[in-house]
């Protein structure tokens, strides 16, 4: 089971039909209970050295006058075809010889990059735009910066703070091209935990044999947290070869516990893996509790564009911004509010959605019409060109002592009663008496009465669908 490398999708691949994704995996993602488990293969498109190359480069830089015999031993070892255990031992010897500070400085320098390849930039966009409940990774490179393993990280990982809705702060920031906050545990963000630490923090790093042993046995909460994560969440392995013995042991334990010795009905986890036969896929699903999303690498195993195609399909089918953009194609929306600046975020999200979907008419200026008075809004609705959706404020006491929203909905109801077509209306408003106002709006025929951006965007998507 090899991990994906750095080659982007070819032109031929981009013209093929998108991969078919099992509905159960899509449901887990959309339901907010899927956690991405990202391995080294995911970062390959950034051009980072793999494990053996990393040890080779660390050894090639020399001993800086300290313990030259260690570097000679390591160079001799890596001239052959070393096993994973040999590389762990070599890393440990280099760490001892260089010292913590120098070792981490060299490692951090080797994992730094000034510009991402287009393929890697796309992978990051997809994995951060798919509404995973959280992302955990064994990578210590800076591509997915997150919290190191700790009691606080475990608590955040196992006590999810995110709502089920995929419209979340982190995803909307990606859509708007905004940088994320500096705090990876910030409320509203998709949590990222770097299980093996990061390169510039020696205390959190797991690369050498002793560091690996300490993480497994010196931090008793680590395995407990992983076991709980695998037991309570649907995990999707990306760029991960499933070769870690302790992780396989945890998975086997859970498969046996949940199946009672019988064949698994539904996968407990999923994995995107290269070169897996249909027979192996069936075996994994039936006896290992693992649903496999297989793909075939091209160009003699060098082109993993099919891996990116799977990520792209997952993104297209679960990312709410992309889905909204598809629904907005060719649609007209009227937004009524005396204070249009209050809606700048929503308008920006809809513009981003149109761009994201590849809509040739991505400029919404002609299809997203704004009105600041009731009469202006009604003149648009009563005009010749129909709308597909109306978003309106409530506005207490603005029309003959009644809310604007009440009068708008009454006129819409009258128009419908006369057999005339009119767009569905969503009321977007905050303030006191929410329950009573919502009840009034629904009785008058509103699709919904919402007061937060997350609910508004979800309702727009559902209404247009």
Does residue 238 contact residue 37 with C-beta atoms inside 8 Å? Answer: yes
> Which of 377, 457, 360 has the alpha carbon at shortest distance from 423?
377
> Which of 196, 191, 183, 188 has the alpha carbon at shortest distance from 165?
188
Instruction: Please give the C-alpha separations between residue 43 and each of 4, 22, 54, 237, in angstroms, as whole numbers.
Output: 9, 25, 14, 13
The two structure tokens encoding residue 257: 């516990």
The two structure tokens encoding residue 55: 């040890």
> Which of 369, 368, 275 has the alpha carbon at shortest distance from 324?
368
Instruction: Give the pLDDT score at 13.
Output: 41
pLDDT in tens, 362-378: 567 678 999 999 999 99
With left for phi above 0 and alpha for psi between -120 and 50, is residue 165 left, alpha or beta?
beta
The two structure tokens encoding residue 441: 């709006």
Q: What's the residue count for the chain?
A: 465
Beta bridge partners of 370: 335
Which residues in the chain show pLDDT less than 50? Answer: 1-15, 179-188
Q: Is the pTM of this model over 0.85?
A: no
Instruction: Give the pLDDT score at 188.
Output: 45
Instruction: Give the pLDDT score at 299.
Output: 84
Q: How far, rounded to the nearest angstrom, does the alpha carbon of residue 47 sit from its chain's CA centroid?
A: 22
Q: What domains are defined for the chain?
A: 11-48+113-318 (3.40.50), 51-110 (no CATH), 321-464 (3.40.50.2300)
Dump strand ranges (E) for 180-329. 191-194, 234-238, 269-274, 290-295
CA 339, 345, 347, 352: dihedral to nearest 10 degrees? 170
Where do runs of H (alpha helix) occur along 139-219? 151-158, 169-176, 209-213
Instruction: Give the pLDDT score at 236.
Output: 97
Cα 139 to Cα 130: distance, rounded to the nearest angstrom = 19
3-class secondary structure, 462? helix
> Which of 419, 325, 316, 421 has the alpha carbon at shortest distance from 367?
325
Cα 366 to Cα 380: distance, rounded to the nearest angstrom = 13
């Amino acid at each position: 089971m090899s991990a994906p490398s750095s080659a982007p999708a070819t032109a031929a691949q981009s013209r093929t039909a998108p991969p078919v994704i099992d509905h159960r995996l899509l449901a887990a993602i959309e339901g907010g209970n899927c956690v991405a488990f990202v391995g080294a293969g995911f970062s390959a498109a950034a051009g980072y050295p793999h494990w053996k190359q990393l040890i080779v480069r660390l050894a090639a830089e020399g001993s800086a006058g300290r313990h030259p015999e260690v570097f000679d031993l390591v160079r001799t070892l890596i001239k052959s075809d070393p096993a994973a255990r040999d590389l762990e031992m070599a890393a440990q010897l280099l760490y001892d010889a260089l010292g913590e500070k120098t070792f981490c400085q060299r490692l951090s320098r080797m994992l730094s990059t000034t510009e991402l390849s287009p393929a890697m930039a796309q992978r990051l966009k997809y994995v951060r735009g798919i509404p995973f409940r959280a992302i955990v990774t064994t990578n210590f490179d800076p591509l997915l910066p997150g919290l190191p393993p700790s009691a606080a990280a475990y608590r955040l990982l196992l006590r999810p703070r995110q709502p089920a809705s995929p419209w979340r702060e982190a995803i909307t920031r990606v859509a708007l091209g905004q940088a994320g906050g500096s705090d990876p545990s910030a409320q509203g963000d998709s949590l990222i935990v770097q299980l093996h630490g990061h390169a510039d923090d020696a205390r959190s790093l797991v690369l050498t044999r002793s560091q690996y042993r300490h993480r497994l046995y010196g931090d008793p909460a680590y395995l407990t947290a992983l076991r709980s994560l695998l037991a309570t969440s649907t995990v999707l392995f990306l760029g991960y070869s499933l070769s870690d013995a302790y992780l396989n042991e945890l998975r086997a334990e859970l498969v046996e516990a949940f199946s009672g010795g019988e064949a698994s009905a539904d996968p407990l986890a999923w994995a995107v893996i290269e070169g897996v036969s249909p027979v192996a896929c069936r075996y994994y699903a039936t006896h290992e509790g693992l649903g496999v999303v297989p793909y075939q690498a091209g160009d003699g195993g060098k082109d993993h564009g099919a891996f990116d195609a799977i990520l792209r399909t997952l993104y297209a089918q679960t990312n709410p911004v992309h889905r909204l953009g598809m629904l907005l194609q060719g649609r007209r929306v009227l937004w009524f509010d005396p204070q249009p600046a209050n809606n700048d975020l929503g308008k920006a999200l809809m513009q981003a959605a149109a761009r994201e979907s590849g809509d040739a008419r991505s400029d919404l200026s002609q299809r997203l019409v704004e009105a600041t008075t009731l009469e202006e809004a009604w003149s648009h609705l009563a005009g010749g060109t129909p709308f597909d959706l109306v978003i309106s404020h409530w506005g207490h006491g603005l029309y003959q002592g009644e809310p604007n929203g009440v009068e708008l909905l009454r006129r819409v109801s009258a128009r419908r009663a006369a057999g005339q077509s009119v767009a569905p209306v969503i009321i977007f408003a905050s303030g006191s008496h929410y329950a009573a106002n919502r009840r009034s709006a629904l009785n008058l025929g509103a699709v919904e009465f919402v007061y937060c951006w997350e609910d508004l965007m979800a309702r727009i998507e559902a209404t247009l669908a």
